[in-house]
Amino acid sequence: MGRNRSGRVRDDSPATGPGEGRTHTQGPLIRTVGSGTAELHPDRDRPYGWQLLVDGAPQSLVDLADPTHLGFEYQRRLGHLIDLAAPPGRPITALHLGGGALTLARYAAATRPRSRQQVAEIDTALTELVRTELPLERGWQIKVRGADARAVLERTPEGSVDLVIADVFSGARVPAHCTTVEFAELASRALAPDGRFAANIADGAALPFARAEAATLLAVFPEVCLIADPAVLRGKRFGNLILAASHQPLPLAELGRRVASDSYLGRIEHGRPLTDFTAGAAPITDTTAAPSPTPPPTAFH
């Protein structure tokens, strides 16, 4: 689901070459971290691939030999937004709210060399586990701060980043204080004039949380779109939805082509269809906020 959270500046972290780190012959690893029980499981389809779970919820999928591999549906869609954040290969400045196994930061570092990236991951024990067992490559400019995601966003200088990605989960739920108009306004303030905000959320059934989150971003940004599996949009299953927002027009045509070319089914809602999707939901504020819904017991099986 992408249960990524928040982190701490570490310039002395282990750095390796491609493919170095924990090997499949070492088998799974289970450790207690600040947010619960973290598990690293080998990916049977990729010799250097590892899946991170926390308390049984899938958080991240990393291939140490190929950081451009994005195996989860939500990661692929956020990867498209990284790809479209600037012309191909151009460095960007990115703020990742939620770290997990740093999959998306690795992807941006590999596809956009010299990018400057900061990651907020509140679970410092999880960050240490990831850095030790799934280390970053030498030369990547990725700093991790061990602090609450919103607190890091509040301290981010105005107009300083090209892309803010919110993938903030506490357990399997988006925490209430990272769902609001006030949170979105902080993201808007941090962005450069042509910068973009993207958020990974999860919902199911009648999608009340997703509808309210769309309304929340529409209250702050003039341009918003939503990407999701049609079955999720129809309330047929619990799953991830990606919201993207900007003060400038979004690259909808190219984004649509990339979503259509994925092996995962996906649909983009924008403009009037997105307004209709909100179904009159009120924007979420700090005084009305609640965490995203708890996934059903079968969500990860």
Quote the CA–CA distance of 190 and 159 in Å, as a whole number: 5
180 Cβ neighbours under 8 A, 6+ residues apart:
216, 284, 285, 286, 289
User: Given a cut of 70, is residue 102 above it in pLDDT?
Assistant: yes
Quote the CA–CA distance of 147 and 87 in Å, as a whole number: 31
pLDDT per residue as tens digits for the range 44-58: 999 999 999 999 989
Closest CA to 243 of 284, 295, 205: 284
User: Given a cut of 50, is residue 8 above it in pLDDT?
Assistant: no
Q: How far is CA 225 from CA 1, 230, 288, in A?
A: 20, 14, 23
User: Would you state the pLDDT for residue 298?
Assistant: 77
User: Would you state the pLDDT for residue 19?
Assistant: 60
pLDDT per residue as tens digits for the range 246-275: 999 999 999 999 999 999 999 999 999 999
Quote the CA–CA distance of 86 and 215 in Å, as a whole number: 27
What class is the 67-278 domain? alpha beta
Asked if 22 contacts 29 with a C-beta cutoff of 8 angstroms, the reply is yes
DSSP 8-state code for residue 279: T
Instruction: Give the residues across from 244 on adjacent strands.
Output: 198, 225
Quote the CA–CA distance of 265 and 129 in Å, as a whole number: 33
- Burial-class residue 189 by CB neighbours within 10 Å (0-12, 13-18, 19+): middle
Asked if 193 contacts 230 with a C-beta cutoff of 8 angstroms, the reply is no
pLDDT per residue as tens digits for the range 209-243: 999 999 999 999 999 999 999 999 999 999 999 99
237 Cβ neighbours under 8 A, 6+ residues apart:
204, 229, 231
pTM: 0.92
Asked if 39 contacts 94 with a C-beta cutoff of 8 angstroms, the reply is no
Q: Domain spans of the chain?
A: 67-278
